[in-house]
Amino acid sequence: MGASWLTTVIGGLAIVLTWLNQVFVEQGIPQTSKEWIAFAFGNIAGLIGVFSKSYNVSNSQHPGAPQVVPPPPGA
């Protein structure tokens, strides 16, 4: 999964819905540039969702209290 389960699920859902729309509503491979652009942007939006993380989720394996890091010597 991506960095956040929620955005991964939403992104995957966007991709699935894009493909289902193409198969059942548009009924076939996109023919015009407008259809291709809409299809591509639906897939790109889904991929962004799959690989993004939620604003309030940390990737830390061991989350702890925030600490002030002192500047390096001579800085």
Which tens digits make up the pLDDT trace of 14-68?
Answer: 999 999 999 898 888 888 999 999 999 999 999 998 888 777 666 666 767 778 8
Hey, where are the domains in the chain?
Answer: 5-51
Query: Does pLDDT of 1 surpass 80?
Result: no
**CA dihedral of 48, 49, 53, 55, whole degrees rounded to 10:** 100
Residue 36 confidence (pLDDT) = 93
Residue 46 confidence (pLDDT) = 94
Its pTM stands at 0.68
17: tokens are 């819905």
CB contact at 8 A, 51 and 2: yes
**Confidence tier at 3 by pLDDT (50, 70, 90):** low
